[in-house]
Amino acid sequence: MKLYHRAIEVMPGGVNSPVRAFGSVGMEPVFFNYAKGPYVFDVDGKEYVDFVCSWGPMILGHGREDLIDKAKAYLDQGLTFGLPTEVEVEMAEYLTKATNTDMVRMVNSGTEATMSAIRLARGYTGRNKLIKFEGCYHGHSDALLVKSGSGTLTYKAPTSLGVPEEVIKDTIVCQYNKIEDVKEQIAANKDQIACVIIEPIAGNMGVVVPDQDFIQELRKVTEEAGIVLIFDEVITGFRTSFGSIAKDFGIEADLYCFGKIIGGGLPVGAFAGKREIMEKLSPTGGVYQAGTLSGNPLAMKMGLDVLHYLEDHQEIYDKLDKLASKLEAGFNKNLEISGVKGKVSRYKSMLSLFFGDFDQIKSYEDVKNADTETYKLYFKKMLERGYIVAPAQFEAIFLSDAHTEAMIDKFLADNLQVLKEIAGEK
Ligand X SMILES: *Cc1c(COP(=O)(O)O)cnc(C)c1O
The catalytic site residues sit at: 137, 232, 260
Identified binder of ligand X from the candidate list 111, 171, 296, 352, rule CB under 6 A: 111
Q: Cβ 249 to ligand X, closest distance in Å?
A: 16
Q: Which of 38, 57, 110, 265 binds ligand X (CB under 6 A)?
A: 110
Q: Please, which residues bridge with residue 146 across strands?
A: 158
What is the chain's alpha carbon radius of gyration, rounded to the nearest angstrom? 21
Amino acid identity, position 248: D
Residues 6+ apart with CB under 8 A from 27: 376, 379, 380, 391
- Can you tell me the distance from the alpha carbon of 271 to that of 418, in angstroms, rounded to the nearest whole number? 42
User: Nearest distance from residue 1's CB to ligand X, in Å?
Assistant: 30
- Give the number of residues in contact with ligand X, rule: CB under 6 A: 15
Closer residue to ligand X in complex, CB, 139/330 = 139
Contacts of 345 (CB under 8 A, 6+ apart): 206, 207, 208, 209, 351, 352, 354, 361
Cβ of residue 298: shortest distance to ligand X, in angstroms? Answer: 17
Judge contact between 270 and 113, C-beta under 8 A.
Answer: yes
Which lies closer to ligand X via its Cβ, residue 14 or residue 110?
110
133, 137, 355, 375: which one binds ligand X (CB under 6 A)? 137
Considering only the stretches 131-139, 146-154, 327-335, 349-357, report the one whose residues sit in contact with ligand X under the rule CB under 6 A. Answer: 131-139
Least distance in angstroms from the C-beta of 112 to ligand X: 7
Interaction with ligand X in 192-211: which residues (CB under 6 A)?
A: 199, 203-204
Which span sits near ligand X by CB under 6 A: 82-90, 108-116, 163-171, 346-354? 108-116
> How many C-beta atoms surround the C-beta of residue 154 within 10 A?
7
CB–CB of 109/141 below 8 Å? no
Closest approach of ligand X to the CB of residue 203, in Å? 6
Phi and psi (nearest 5°) for 21? -75, -5
Query: x-or-dash pattern for ligand X, window 155-194, by CB under 6 A?
Result: ----------------------------------------
Residue 69: CB minimum distance to ligand X, A: 26
Minimum Å distance from CB 234 to ligand X? 4
Is residue 366 within the footprint of ligand X (CB under 6 A)? Answer: no
Q: Which is nearer to ligand X, 140 or 385 (CB)?
A: 140
- Residue 374 interacts with ligand X (CB under 6 A): yes or no: no
Residue 161: other Cβ atoms inside 10 A: 6
| Distances 104 to 84, 98, 101, 182, 355 between C-alpha atoms, Å | 15, 12, 8, 28, 40
Q: Applying CB under 6 A, does 109 fall inside the site for ligand X?
A: yes
The answer to the question of residue 294 lying near ligand X (CB under 6 A) is no
Which position among 127, 138, 178, 319 is part of the footprint of ligand X (CB under 6 A)? 138
Secondary structure letter of residue 190 according to DSSP: T
d(CA 186, CA 224): 10
The residue of the chain with the least Cβ separation from ligand X equals 110
Kindly state whether residue 259 participates in binding ligand X, applying the rule CB under 6 A: yes
Residues 6+ apart with CB under 8 A from 252: 100, 219, 246
Do strands 193-198 and 228-232 pair parallel, antiparallel, or not at all (unpaired)?
parallel
Please report which residue ranges of 313-404 form alpha helices under DSSP H: 315-338, 364-367, 372-384
Given the complex with ligand X, which of 394 and 411 has the nearer CB atom? 394
Kindly tell me which of 29 and 203 has the beta carbon lying closer to ligand X.
Answer: 203
Checking DSSP bridges between strand 171-174 and strand 129-133, what pairing results, if any? parallel
Cis peptide before 164 (omega within 30 of 0): no
What is the binding site for ligand X (CB under 6 A)?
109-111, 114, 137-139, 199, 203-204, 232, 234-235, 259, 269
